[in-house]
């Protein structure tokens, strides 16, 4: 197998030649690890895409046969989102003798790889809609026993037809089977695009590859396009493949904190390290994608004006004339222009703005009300005044509390005598303050001047 530079050079030299005496190769559309793709025109005028196996691989008769046989996997998938193989052949003579090629429908448009190279990051809704379209194709493919094994931005294509309508196409169905078999023979490791390999594929466990492998690669593609980063970073392809086979994918919100919860739920589920922890099928993942789209739409939908602009109790009453904007003419005031609601929803009610930030622990249940009682502030002011008074004039405070304590003791004695009992020594001792120590304040009004000592009434002889 030649190097990428060698394959690319050979592919470019072939532009402008005629393949197998019938296909003019008018332009190079792309070069991959297994083949080069050209814009071709048949001698009868028909246009198509011609995929030519690299010469180093084409020398092996077994590889050529597998190339042709595996290419027909795409034709097993009856879905408009799959590129059809129209013909296949091997050059019988001439300088290209033994060269295998496929004839496929030619597409007009661009791939996700093109957008990625331009630095374009798709929004979450656009990515979920893309995933839904791809999952519809995967449902049919998996039901037909076909696993793609090489989903990546380069193989997801936005095709435009003559009417201007866009259809998502999945390219290179079945070719990943050939790539994997060749890599295992040569290196003992599954070949593919390392950034989008599932753990079982990256570790070479071919018996563990099934439809859930495609779900992982699709989620890895969405992860890359949403965050602009790969699942794992490495200095070279070999190290990256090892990480993909041994390390779980990071949660997407740990890489981009502004990702919405519905989008993160779908991506994180499909990127689980163990197959059994992912979605069980493409249909199950598509159902969750549709649920996530509905949740994002609900978050972006503006709230009714009555619930956002006035309290519920006032929503049923007609607004006062002063509350209405001045009308340019007589009659009832006009409703706000229709475009204002979508503009407000786009700016203020986007998914990222409505998403709570867990790092701050925000909880609406602890929101401070707008109207509060002033009693706590008055109590705090009184206690503060007492503290200042005690600091600036401690003698006066001590005398005040001594007088209050004496008055209280005398009042208690009067009550006891009136009831026919005398106060005990223990109660008198407990109620009297210690010498030189001011009693602890117990009444906020203790800062008043000491009252005159009341006279002790004479003992009563009975009622």
Q: What positions carry a catalytic annotation?
A: 150
> Which region, left, alpha or beta, applies to residue 392 given φ > 0 means left and ψ of -120 to 50 means alpha?
alpha
DSSP character at residue 358: G
- Side-by-side strand order, sheet with 109-111: 109-111, 156-160, 166-170
- Cα–Cα separations (whole angstroms), residue 228 to 232, 236, 252, 396: 12, 18, 11, 74
Looking at the DSSP bridge assignments, the partners of residue 223 are none
**CA nearest to 314, candidates 302, 326, 306, 325:** 306
Helix, strand and coil in the chain, % to nearest 5: 50, 10, 40
What is d(CA 201, CA 150) in angstroms, rounded to the nearest whole number?
10
What is d(CA 225, CA 458) in angstroms, rounded to the nearest whole number?
97
What is d(CA 334, CA 328) in angstroms, rounded to the nearest whole number?
9
Report the alpha-carbon angle 225-283-193, nearest 5.
Answer: 40
* Count of other CB atoms within 10 angstroms of residue 160: 13
Q: Which helix (H) or strand (E) holds 28?
A: strand 23-31
Spell out the residues 6+ positions from residue 459 whose beta carbon is closer than 8 angstroms to its own: 417
In DSSP notation, 85-128 reads EEEEEE--SSTTTT-EEEEE----EEEHHHHHHTT----HHHHH
**CA nearest to 141, candidates 284, 283, 291:** 283
Distance of CA 367 to the CA centre of its chain: 26
DSSP character at residue 44: T
Residue 348 near residue 340 (C-beta atoms within 8 A)? no
Residue 332 near residue 319 (C-beta atoms within 8 A)? no
């Amino acid at each position: 197998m030649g190097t990428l530079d060698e394959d690319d050079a050979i592919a470019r030299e072939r532009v402008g030649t005629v393949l197998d005496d019938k296909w003019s190769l008018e332009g190079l559309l792309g070069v991959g690890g297994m083949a080069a793709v050209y814009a071709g025109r048949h001698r009868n005028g028909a246009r198509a895409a011609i995929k030519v196996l690299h010469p180093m691989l084409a020398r092996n008769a077994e590889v050529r046969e597998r190339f042709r046989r595996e290419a027909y996997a795409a034709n097993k998938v009856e879905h408009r989102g799959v590129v059809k193989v129209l013909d296949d052949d091997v050059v019988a003579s001439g300088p290209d003798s033994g060269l295998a090629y496929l004839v496929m429908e030619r597409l007009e448009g661009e791939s996700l790889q093109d957008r990625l190279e331009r630095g374009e990051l798709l929004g979450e809704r656009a990515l979920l809609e893309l995933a839904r379209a791809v999952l519809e194709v995967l449902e049919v493919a998996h039901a037909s026993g076909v696993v793609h094994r090489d989903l990546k931005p380069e193989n997801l294509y936005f095709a435009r037809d003559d009417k201007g309508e866009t259809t998502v196409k999945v390219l290179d169905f079945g070719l990943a089977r050939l790539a994997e078999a060749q890599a295992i023979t040569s290196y003992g490791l599954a070949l593919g695009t390392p950034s989008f390999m599932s753990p079982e594929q990256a570790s070479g466990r071919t018996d563990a590859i099934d439809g859930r492998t495609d779900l992982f690669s699709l989620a890895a593609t969405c992860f890359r396009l949403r965050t602009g980063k790969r699942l794992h970073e490495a200095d070279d392809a070999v190290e990256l493949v090892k990480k993909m086979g041994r390390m779980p994918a990071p949660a997407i919100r740990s890489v981009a904190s502004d990702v919405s919860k519905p989008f993160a739920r779908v991506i994180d589920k499909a990127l689980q390290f163990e197959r059994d922890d992912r979605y069980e099928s493409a249909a199950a993942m598509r159902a969750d994608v549709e649920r996530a789209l509905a949740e994002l739409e609900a978050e972006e939908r503006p709230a009714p004006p009555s619930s956002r602009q006035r309290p519920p109790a006032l929503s049923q009453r007609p607004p006062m004339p002063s509350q209405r904007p001045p009308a340019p003419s007589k009659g009832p005031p006009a409703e706000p222009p229709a475009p204002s609601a979508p503009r407000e929803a786009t700016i203020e009610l986007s998914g990222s703005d409505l998403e709570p930030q867990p790092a701050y622990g925000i909880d609406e249940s602890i929101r401070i009300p707008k109207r509060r009682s002033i009693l706590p502030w008055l109590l705090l002011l009184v206690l503060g005044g007492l503290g200042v008074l005690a600091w600036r004039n401690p003698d006066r405070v001590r005398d005040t509390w001594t007088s209050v304590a004496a008055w209280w003791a005398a009042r208690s004695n009067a009550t006891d005598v009136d009831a026919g009992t005398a106060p005990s020594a223990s109660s008198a001792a407990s109620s009297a303050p210690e010498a030189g120590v001011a009693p602890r304040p117990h009444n906020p009004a203790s800062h008043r001047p000491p009252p005159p000592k009341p006279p002790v009434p004479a003992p009563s002889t009975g009622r």
